[in-house]
A and B are shown apart, each in its own frame.
Chain A
């Protein structure tokens, strides 16, 4: 009896690994089903992790073979030199801060790239004294998207502002400045946006400490965690 069950479990796990979850869910007996699920988890763990696919590359229709990242880098290489920052991978483009405004202009105005909408701008604290600003660009004409990352040091967090290219960046950059203290040079109106003007510190940095008092109100320090 137990051998039969073992065979059944092996069978459904194999099927599940191939992507078909139905046989597992169709098992009537609850105990067997949970055993099968446990076996599946074990089997999955032993498998090599699958790479996360870049959702951007799927939409690319500029060139069928190259991913959009490669196309963008190729296009940029014609006009700029030495703009990449370190090793690249298929998911994003890591560039240096210096020429960012010109690169952004190229990305926006080049006919083949035409990234006319800035979807999102995110700050990120890489820890170890580095901050990062990430831009998700999208073209409504060609329906492709890329992510651009710019790394800056925490002592000198200057990134050229692209607010005059994509006006949506106005508030995005203000928010990133508000939360991370990344200084967007050339921004017309770089003020805090969500926090009060006189707030101290950059809350989304990993080493952020709340201020002791705010306008005479003692800020309560909750030490115990959330979990």
Chain B
């Protein structure tokens, strides 16, 4: 088929645009509907996270991590406290570990629900989004029950937690899971097997495994490309080695491995796996154990540095902490998974149509708070 070339036009998608998931500016070169080149401009949400961290104590960093990825605050807390605990060589008791895993996995469900819902919204399907938000709301209610906050929790502290689980939490969570599990199939049928949705996502924005690894793409996006890589399995932190769960990998059911549909489907499957983990963790949850037991009075890690990674809903969340022996970090760098996921956009989305580019952007599940920090 011959290709007609017209005059190229430079178009700014964003910073205020409904499909950029925050304030992101994509400068694209368009030839009619075809987009030939994408240049992301970041920094509209830059809040000097790393500079702030050099001026506050280790405890005070935790609320800042909340605000980076505001859709998965629990896992952001989790990654940070795991890093500091490794640096200080603190062992926390089993109850704390279990509660942390429960919270992190519930947060993963909530985050993936929003991610898949917003992906549908980017493609014009409004209803699945609201159905998913309805269920996300119930998870947030569980968090509210635990620590009072609904979005930014500041729940996991170095060496412990801010609160123990409230009365009735286990029952409420089990109730929720019983209610929620059939809903996952509903979402899959409502969105995943919708003919138009499949047409819009299958074979679109294919990310081969080598490209994904080279661009540092991690998390569900990498797994959708067929790479079986999950830090919870491959480099277990906390107590993830105790649980039995699968790592869903993109198989190209509707198209090619690593297309947008796979990225959607892997997230949906991960929700199922997270439900499994939460069930196991609730089952094994030790009855006693003080959540403040191993909390140090003053967090003053020994001199040294550490790079610690955890699996956030968006991928490998790394914290590089350099300590000079004082109670403030000398340098704290967050290796944000969405940052690298956005970096691959030009590579996989260049040459597609405008609608596809925004669909691919939606399938990568970026959070600007975490990219800009």
Residues of A near any B CB (own CB < 8 A): 19, 21, 25, 41, 49-50, 52, 55, 59, 91, 116-120, 122, 124-125, 134, 136, 140, 143, 145, 147, 166-168, 170-172, 179, 192-196, 203-204, 225-227
- Of the A-B pairs whose beta carbons lie under 8 Å apart in the complex, a sample of 19, sorted by A's number, is A21-B91, A25-B289, A25-B293, A52-B89, A117-B213, A117-B216, A119-B316, A119-B318, A119-B335, A120-B307, A136-B320, A167-B347, A168-B216, A168-B340, A171-B343, A194-B46, A203-B51, A204-B51, A226-B55
CB neighbours (8 Å) of B55 from chain A are: 225-226
**Chain B: which residue is nearest A108 at the CB level?**
B214
User: What chain B residues lie within 8 Å of A122 (beta carbons)?
Assistant: 320, 331, 333
Max chain A CB contacts within 10 Å: which of B56, B93, B215, B347?
Answer: B215
Contacts of A117 in B (CB 8 A): 213-214, 216
CB distance from B178 to the nearest CB of A (A): 34
Residues of A within 8 A of B306 (CB): 52, 55
- Bound-state Cα–Cα, A74 to B339, Å: 34
Q: Could you tell me if A227 and B331 are in contact, using CB atoms closer than 8 angstroms?
A: no
Tell me if B318 and A49 are in contact (CB < 8 A): no
| Contact indicator B42/A167 (Cβ below 8 Å) | no
Q: Pick the most buried of B234, B307, B320: most chain A CB atoms within 10 A of its CB.
A: B307
- The CA-CA distance from A134 to B89 in the complex, in Å, is 23
**Inter-chain contact A226/B43, CB cutoff 8 Å:** no
Complex CA distance for A134 and B293, rounded to whole angstroms: 35
Residues of B near A19 (CB, < 8 A) are 91
- Nearest-Cβ distance from residue B25 to partner chain A, whole angstroms: 12
Kindly list chain A residues whose C-beta atoms are within 8 Å of the C-beta of B227: 140
Is B343 a contact partner of A167 (Cβ separation < 8 A)?
A: yes
Q: Please, which residue of chain B has its CB at the minimum distance from the CB of A125?
A: B331
Contact in complex: A194, B373 (CB < 8 Å): yes
Residues of A within 8 A of B87 (CB): 52
Q: Is A166 a contact partner of B214 (Cβ separation < 8 A)?
A: yes
Q: Given the complex of chains A and B, what is the CA–CA distance between A143 and B309 in angstroms? A: 14
The residues of B that contact A134 with a CB separation of less than 8 Å are: 305, 320
The residue that A194 contacts in the complex, of B93, B347, B372, with Cβ under 8 A, is B372
Given contacts A50-B89, A167-B215, 14 further A-B contacts (CB under 8 A): A25-B293, A52-B304, A91-B305, A118-B216, A119-B216, A124-B331, A136-B307, A140-B213, A140-B229, A166-B216, A204-B54, A226-B55, A227-B56, A227-B57
Residue of A nearest to B88 (CB): A52
CA distance A119 to B307 in the complex (A): 9
Q: Is the CB of A194 within 8 A of B308?
A: no
Q: Which residues of B contact A170 (CB under 8 A)?
A: 343
Task: Specify which chain A residues have a CB less than 8 angstroms from the CB of B213 in the assembled complex.
Answer: 116-117, 140
* B273 on interface, CB distance cutoff 8 Å: no
- B66 close to chain A: CB less than 8 A: no
The answer to whether B294 has its CB under 8 Å from any CB of chain A is: yes
Contact for A55 among B54, B86, B297, B331, CB less than 8 A: B86
Q: Nearest chain A CB to B146's CB is how many angstroms away? A: 22
Q: Which of B86-110 contact A (CB under 8 A)?
A: 86-87, 89, 91, 93
- Measured in the bound complex, the distance between the Cα atoms of B290 and A120 in whole Å is 35
Contact B42 A193 (CB under 8 A): yes
From B334, which residue of chain A is reached at the shortest CB distance?
A: A120
Q: How far is the CA of A162 from the CA of B340 in the complex (A)?
A: 16
Which A residues are in CB contact (< 8 Å) with B333?
120, 122
Judged by a CB distance under 8 angstroms, whether B181 is at the interface is no
Of residues 317 to 340 in B, which have CB atoms within 8 Å of A's CB atoms? 318, 320, 322, 331, 333, 335, 339-340
Report A-chain residues with C-beta under 8 Å of the C-beta of B305: 91, 134, 147
Which of A50, A122, A124, A225 has most chain B Cβ within 10 Å?
A122
Mask of B45-79 contacts with A, CB within 8 angstroms, 1/0: 01010110011110010000000000000000000
A195 engages B43 (CB within 8 Å): yes
Nearest Cβ on chain A to B44's Cβ, whole angstroms: 9
Bound state CA distance, A19 and B89, in angstroms?
A: 11
Q: Is B199 an interface residue (CB 8 A)?
A: no
B137 at interface, CB cutoff 8 A: no
Give the docked Cα–Cα distance between A122 and B307 (Å): 10
